Amino acid sequence: MTSQTNTLTPTNPTAATETTAAVRVLPNYIGGRWVPAEASGLIDVTNPANGEVLGRVPLSGATEVESAAAAANTALPDWRSRSVGERTEFLYALREAFRRRIDELAESITREGGKVLSDARAEITRSIEVLEVACASPMTMQGRVLEGVARGINTETFRQPVGVCAAITPFNFPAMVPMWFLPFAIVCGNTFVLKPSEQVPLTSELICRMLEEIGLPHGVVNLVHGAHDVVNAILDSPGISAVSFVGSVNTAKYIYRRAAEKGKRVQALGGAKNYMVVMPDAIVDKTVSNVLGSAFGNAGQRCMAGSVLVTVGSAQTAIMGKLKQEAEKVIVGDGRDPKASLGPVISHAACERIHDAIETGIKEGAELLVDGRRPKGVPSGGNFVGPTILNNVKAGMRAAREEIFGPVLSVMHVNSLDEAIALVNSDPRGNGTSIFTENGAAVREYSRRVEVGMVGVNIGVAASPAYFPFSGWKDSFFGDLHVHGLDAVEFFTRKKTVTSRYFSSGTTGKFFTEQGDKH
């Protein structure tokens, strides 16, 4: 699990007020009002590039969750009775607001999450794409009708909202992951409660302020800040019908089990260890740049990050020199610095965990090909780890097993595609994978046999676009219906089937017979 224990240690609220009175405590957004939480503690939200305290997150609990669920339930009858077109209009307005304020949103992501501004802008572009796909709801929410299941009888299936839906989201995509769920949930007629990561709550607040500005009816979207207590209250709340979760494997398993026990609909996306396989015929320059982008983009803090490179046969000699040379050129720095392509990791605790994983790798016998433990020229007070490559990693080593969730690439060497596939399939997770080759037969073999949800061919981060479903397999996903695409409409609606006849139009089929007789 990658949750950083230090972030869950509440500061003393009184002391916090005394020492830094200027730092704002974030309010919750419940029923259209910004309300202070009755929280028993606060967590500092820090800029990972320099340690600046940006705000304080209240550790809300069951009281706040029950208020949010009540507000969402109160808003539900009016919201779900509006036409699909009217609900979609709000998404168009939100999309325009996202486009207009893309710089502000990107800066918020970089400030609290650390990723470089170009990645933060790309995250907003992905969020806009989700909004656009959700706007197709007048088409995608349609049901089916069969005329004449029996004489004079039709059967139709239509879609209705599930009720109040909640999302619990991780730190690494402060806008995109909440936006995987929010647009589809509300356009399908549900109301919504968001519990963002306590490490990056500010972008979610900004999105809620934008929802307020576009005039979204009160209570349709609610925001509750906090950590474990809020999550547990969401899972147990009788007022919440469905839960979407994204985070680490152990938390995903826990969420899935506890929410399902309470009879809720659940989709829980977990962590990953993604393999990139390079075949001997791969085009070296392009492969290296994609591998590095995949391993070190967002400082390796992506569920789709390529964290294990597997060279097959002579690909090892073809690629390793160039890989080292290019990795050493990566510029580490504050995400707001346009020269930097690798920003800080989320917290001091994450930094320590990553250092520890690198040191364990060395102790277990891996070769430290590129050492990012002390990157040069970075701002003081930040959580920086430079690009790191551990070569000759063997199955069973920590660097092969653990999701390090930092800019650390483990490299393994095998002799055949079969061996590479066996290695990929031996991992308990199966989120994403990539193969680099120009050989179609190898691609077909690989894509068919790997037990992984998303496969890239000569693409380092094969995240599905919003009009396709996104999700891993095995321990990377617990549930049935994936994120976005048509799966989202399935997840956020319940199907109702109506079988009908009308006596006045001829139950026995007389009317139809008469009509038929006329022709």
Tokens 């974030």 map to which residue?
Answer: 26
From the CB of 181, what's the least distance to ligand NAD, in Å? 12
29 or 171: whose CB is closer to ligand NAD?
Answer: 171
Among residues 197, 290, 298, 307, which is the contact residue for ligand NAD, using CB under 6 A?
A: 197
> In 3-state terms, what secondary structure has residue 440?
helix
- Any idea of the CA torsion for 36, 42, 46, 52, to the nearest 10 degrees? 90
Give the rounded distance of the alpha carbon of 396 from its chain centre: 28
105 or 227: whose CB is closer to ligand NAD?
Answer: 227
DSSP category for residue 37: -
How many residues of this chain bind ligand NAD (CB under 6 A)?
Answer: 30
CB of 193 within 8 A of CB of 164? Answer: yes
Encoding tokens for residue 194?
Answer: 């968001």
Angle, to 10 degrees, between the axis of helix 84-100 and the axis of helix 102-113? Answer: 70
Among residues 42, 105, 133, 168, which is the contact residue for ligand NAD, using CB under 6 A?
A: 168
Site for ligand NAD in 424-483 (CB under 6 A): 431, 472, 476
Site for ligand NAD in 17-76 (CB under 6 A): none
From the CB of 210, what's the least distance to ligand NAD, in Å? 21
From the CB of 116, what's the least distance to ligand NAD, in Å? 18
Site for ligand NAD in 367-426 (CB under 6 A): 403, 405
Q: Candidates 10-18, 94-102, 164-172, 366-374 — which segment interacts with ligand NAD by CB under 6 A?
A: 164-172
From the CB of 233, what's the least distance to ligand NAD, in Å? 10
Among residues 124, 182, 231, 242, which is the contact residue for ligand NAD, using CB under 6 A?
A: 231
- Count other C-beta atoms under 10 Å from residue 253's C-beta: 15
Angle, to 10 degrees, between the axis of helix 440-449 and the axis of helix 417-426? Answer: 20
Q: CA 27, CA 55: separation in Å to the nearest integer?
A: 11
Among residues 47, 67, 172, 298, which is the contact residue for ligand NAD, using CB under 6 A?
A: 172
Contacts 24+ apart (CB under 8 A), 141-148: 141/84, 141/188, 141/489, 141/493, 143/495
Give the rounded distance of the alpha carbon of 136 from its chain centre: 21
Read off φ and ψ for residue 165, nearest 5 degrees: -115, 145
Q: Candidates 192-200, 213-221, 315-323, 380-388 — which segment interacts with ligand NAD by CB under 6 A?
A: 192-200
Q: Which of 135, 188, 303, 351 is flagged as catalytic?
A: 303
Among residues 113, 152, 161, 170, which is the contact residue for ligand NAD, using CB under 6 A?
A: 170
Q: Candidates 30-38, 122-130, 169-177, 383-391 — which segment interacts with ligand NAD by CB under 6 A?
A: 169-177
Site for ligand NAD in 244-273 (CB under 6 A): 246-248, 251, 269-272
- Does 303 participate in catalysis according to the annotation? yes
Site for ligand NAD in 78-97 (CB under 6 A): none
Q: CA 471, CA 74: separation in Å to the nearest integer?
A: 32
Tokens 């590479």 map to which residue?
Answer: 420
Q: CA 380, CA 367: separation in Å to the nearest integer?
A: 29
* Residue ranges of E strands in 203-360: 221-223, 242-246, 265-269, 274-278, 306-312
368 or 463: whose CB is closer to ligand NAD?
Answer: 463
From the CB of 453, what's the least distance to ligand NAD, in Å? 9
Site for ligand NAD in 302-341 (CB under 6 A): 303
Please name the helix (run of DSSP H) or strand (run of DSSP E) that holds residue 62, with its range, or none.
helix 62-81
274 or 311: whose CB is closer to ligand NAD?
Answer: 274
Closest C-alpha to 427, from 442, 415, 410: 410
Q: Candidates 57-65, 206-214, 243-251, 412-420 — which segment interacts with ligand NAD by CB under 6 A?
A: 243-251
Positions touching ligand NAD (CB under 6 A) are: 1-3, 168-173, 177, 195, 197-198, 227-228, 231, 246-248, 251, 269-272, 303, 403, 405, 431, 472, 476
Which positions are catalytic? 303
